[in-house]
């Protein structure tokens, strides 16, 4: 088997908790929260893995840790076989791992022209820049923008155009992996498709691996090979996209999908309402952390944390009583 482009094993990312003077005497594990609480996954060459989950589930935090913008507190991560968890040369890593940030316009420096923005990755990595304007034109063209955009500034771009500049920057160094955080957020449906096609094109041609973070479950089937569902910083289900959409094993996945009727292969599937709110990271429920919101919870769910194990289909789920048939109900 070929080596994964990205390999994560039990990756934990913590944020400090402000506690005042009392906090100084608190046990060490209470001075921080785990926004990513032990994530294990692989992304293969040419593969697109989508990460979904409600706001605050740790998706962006995970991407930022993979890209070195946040430290990995524990666990192990490898990119193309090189460890990321023990102080790699992040500039060298980022030469081959591009990040598209959640906010398309805000992530572009406002004082730089589009020409300079698309050349910036080359400058950061010390690549030759003989025919700079020609190179910038070619890089822009990869994202479907003509040379008339070279002289524009970010505030003169629409959301879709800013996204395209983000795609051009991401593709410009021919990366092995793109981390795309909500690449279609805030865009019209027609433009969403165009942005995703741009990313897809390179996956077919160059074996580009993509980790795409999205709230937009409707785009999943068109872009993702596999999907990982996150809840409170953990993966609760992961598997091939068709298998997960057709027969989600975790009640949380079923609830997310049932809120998107277009995704439901059988429109008859009843909408599963999630009870209550997502708990805070400081008061994680006992046992299965989803149990207070789960309509299928049984007493033992409050006692024992489920492991992510193979379920009936081809997916893995962290649930003591996974759903086993395709209408989201109990066997
Ligand atoms: N800089 C920070 N300091 C402290 N806590 C943070 C910080 N950034 C994120 N968090 C917390 O970490 C958790 C995960 O946040 P994250 O932004 O990764 O979620 P997300 O899944 O990307 O959400 P969204 O879908 O809204 O983008 C949240 O509880 C959030 O409040
Ligand atoms: Mg986010």
Is the pLDDT assigned to residue 281 strictly greater than 80? Answer: yes
Q: Whose CA is nearest to atom 29 of ligand 1?
A: 56
Q: Is the dihedral of CA 77, 79, 80, 82 positive or negative?
A: negative
pLDDT, position 328? 46
Q: Hey, which of 71-75, 160-164, 192-196 has the most confident mean pLDDT?
A: 71-75
For residue 162, the CA-to-ligand 2 centroid distance in Å is: 18
Task: State the ligand closest to the CA atom of 101.
Answer: 2
Q: How confident is the model at residue 112 (pLDDT cuts 50, 70, 90)?
A: very high
Is the pLDDT assigned to residue 224 strictly greater than 70? Answer: yes
For residue 115, the CA-to-ligand 1 centroid distance in Å is: 32
Q: How confident is the model at residue 200 (pLDDT cuts 50, 70, 90)?
A: confident
pLDDT, position 290? 96
Ligand 1, atom nearest to 57 Cα: 21
pLDDT, position 276? 82
Q: What mean pLDDT is reported for the chain?
A: 88
For 105, 282, 314, the CA distances from 331, given in Å and listed in that order, are 48, 35, 17
pLDDT, position 268? 44
Is the pLDDT assigned to residue 263 strictly greater than 80? Answer: no
For residue 281, the CA-to-ligand 2 centroid distance in Å is: 15
Task: State the ligand closest to the CA atom of 59.
Answer: 1
DSSP string, 31-51: SEEEEEEEEEEEE-TT-EEEE
Q: How many CB atoms lie within 10 A of CB 100?
A: 24
Rounded Cα distance between 279 and 273, Å, is 16
Enumerate residues lining ligand 1, CB below 6 A: 15, 35, 53, 55-61, 102, 215, 281
Structure tokens at 233: 């910083």
From 11, 57, 66, mutation site for ligand 1 pocket: most ligand atoms within 8 A of C-beta: 57
pLDDT, position 267? 46
Q: Give the three-state DSSP class for 180.
A: strand
Ligand 1, atom nearest to 58 Cα: 18
From 19, 33, 60, mutation site for ligand 1 pocket: most ligand atoms within 8 A of C-beta: 60
Q: Hey, which of 36-45, 105-114, 177-186, 251-260 has the most confident mean pLDDT?
A: 36-45
pLDDT digits (tens, 9 = 90+) for 6-48: 999 999 999 988 766 666 677 776 788 999 999 999 999 999 9
Rounded Cα distance between 218 and 183, Å, is 13
pLDDT, position 262? 61
Q: Whose CA is nearest to atom 4 of ligand 1?
A: 15
Which of 150 and 313 is assigned the larger pLDDT? 150
Rounded Cα distance between 220 and 215, Å, is 10
For residue 201, the CA-to-ligand 1 centroid distance in Å is: 31
Q: Whose CA is nearest to atom 26 of ligand 1?
A: 55
pLDDT, position 218? 77
For residue 222, the CA-to-ligand 1 centroid distance in Å is: 27
pLDDT digits (tens, 9 = 90+) for 38-96: 999 999 999 999 999 988 999 999 999 999 999 999 999 999 999 999 989 999 999 99
pLDDT, position 48? 94
Rounded Cα distance between 176 and 52, Å, is 22
Q: Which of 124, 123, 117 is nearest to 168 (CA)?
A: 117
pLDDT, position 23? 64
Structure tokens at 198: 């741009």
For residue 59, the CA-to-ligand 2 centroid distance in Å is: 5
Q: Whose CA is nearest to atom 6 of ligand 1?
A: 15
């Amino acid at each position: 088997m070929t080596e994964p482009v990205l390999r994560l094993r039990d990756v934990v990312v913590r944020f400090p908790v402000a506690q005042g003077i009392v906090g100084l005497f608190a046990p060490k594990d209470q001075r921080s929260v785990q926004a990513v609480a032990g994530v294990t996954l692989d992304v293969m060459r040419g593969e697109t893995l989508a990460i979904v989950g409600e706001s605050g589930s740790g998706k962006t935090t995970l991407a930022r840790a993979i890209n070195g913008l946040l430290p990995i507190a524990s666990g192990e991560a490898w990119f193309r076989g090189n460890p990321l968890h023990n102080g790699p040369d992040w500039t060298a890593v980022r030469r081959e791992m591009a990040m598209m940030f959640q906010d398309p316009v805000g992530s572009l420096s406002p004082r730089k022209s589009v020409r300079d923005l698309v050349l910036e990755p080359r400058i950061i990595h010390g690549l030759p820049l003989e025919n700079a304007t020609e190179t910038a034109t070619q890089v822009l063209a990869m994202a479907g923008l003509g040379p008339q955009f070279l002289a524009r500034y970010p505030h003169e771009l629409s959301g879709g155009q800013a996204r395209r500049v983000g795609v051009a920057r991401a593709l410009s160094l021919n990366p092995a992996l793109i981390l795309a955080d909500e690449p279609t957020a805030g865009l019209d449906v027609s433009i969403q498709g165009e942005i995703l096609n741009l990313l897809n094109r390179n996956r077919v041609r160059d074996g580009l691996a993509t980790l795409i973070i999205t709230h937009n479950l409707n785009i999943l089937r068109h872009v993702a090979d596999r999907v990982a569902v996150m809840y409170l910083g953990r993966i609760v289900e992961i598997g091939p996209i068709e298998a997960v959409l057709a027969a989600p094993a975790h009640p949380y996945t079923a609830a997310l999908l049932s809120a998107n009727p277009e995704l439901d292969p059988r429109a008859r599937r009843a909408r599963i309402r999630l009870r209550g709110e997502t708990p805070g990271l400081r008061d994680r429920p006992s046992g299965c952390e989803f149990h207070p919101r789960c309509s299928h919870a049984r007493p033992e769910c409050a006692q024992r944390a489920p492991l992510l194990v193979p379920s009936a289909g081809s997916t893995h789920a962290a649930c003591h009583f996974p759903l086993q048939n395709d209408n989201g109900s109990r066997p």
